[in-house]
């Protein structure tokens, strides 16, 4: 029982250090309204994976569904007030392991998109690109 708090503290520390690893970018004009967040896989966590996300902070909730579908998502959010104006970005042809790869595939129109990022997701911090 005595080791449980140590495990909890270490897990929390690893989680906090993972947030500090987030990297942010932005596409060049004319796509400079697109902001990018990349969070690399945490090498010390066996189930970790990287995240590549694109956001358009200029949107209001009523525009989220149209934007998501324009970007290539199959559908918009069922409740636009429960999501950020952000989409998870994926690549069918490569592993996305760096901010440069993430930013390049988004800004060059090569990313695949599926779902919007929920406001309850605690895996990363989008505030630097949503509230600059």
How many independent structural domains does the chain possess? 1
25 and 33 in contact (C-beta within 8 Å)?
A: no
pLDDT of residue 95: 84
Rounded CA-CA distance 132/123 in Å is: 19
* Per-residue 3-state assignment (H helix, E strand, C coil) for 40-78: CCCCCCCCCCCEEEEECCCCCHHHHHHHHHHHCCCCCCC
pLDDT digits (tens, 9 = 90+) for 46-83: 677 789 999 999 999 999 999 999 999 999 999 999 99
pLDDT digits (tens, 9 = 90+) for 11-24: 344 444 444 589 99
Report field, pTM of the whole predicted structure over 0.85: no
pLDDT of residue 11: 39
Q: How far apart, in Å, are the Cα atoms of 128 and each of 25, 46, 57, 83?
A: 10, 27, 11, 16
Give the range of the structural domain holding residue 107, as residue numbers without chain letter: 3-130
* Position 118 confidence tier, pLDDT thresholds 50, 70, 90: very high
Residue 88 β-bridge partners: 53
62 and 85 in contact (C-beta within 8 Å)?
A: no
């Amino acid at each position: 029982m005595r080791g449980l708090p140590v495990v909890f503290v270490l897990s929390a520390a690893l989680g906090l250090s993972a947030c500090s690893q987030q990297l942010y970018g932005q596409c060049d004009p004319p796509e400079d309204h697109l902001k990018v967040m990349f969070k690399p896989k945490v090498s010390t966590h066996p189930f970790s994976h990287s995240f590549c996300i694109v956001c358009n902070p200029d949107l209001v909730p009523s525009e989220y569904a149209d934007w998501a579908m324009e970007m290539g998502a199959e559908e918009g959010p069922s409740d636009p007030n429960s999501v950020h104006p952000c989409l998870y970005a994926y690549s069918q042809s490569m592993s996305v392991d760096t901010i440069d790869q993430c930013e390049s595939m988004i800004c060059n129109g090569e990313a695949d998109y599926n779902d919007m990022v929920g406001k309850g997701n605690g895996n990363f911090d989008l505030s630097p690109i949503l509230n600059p």
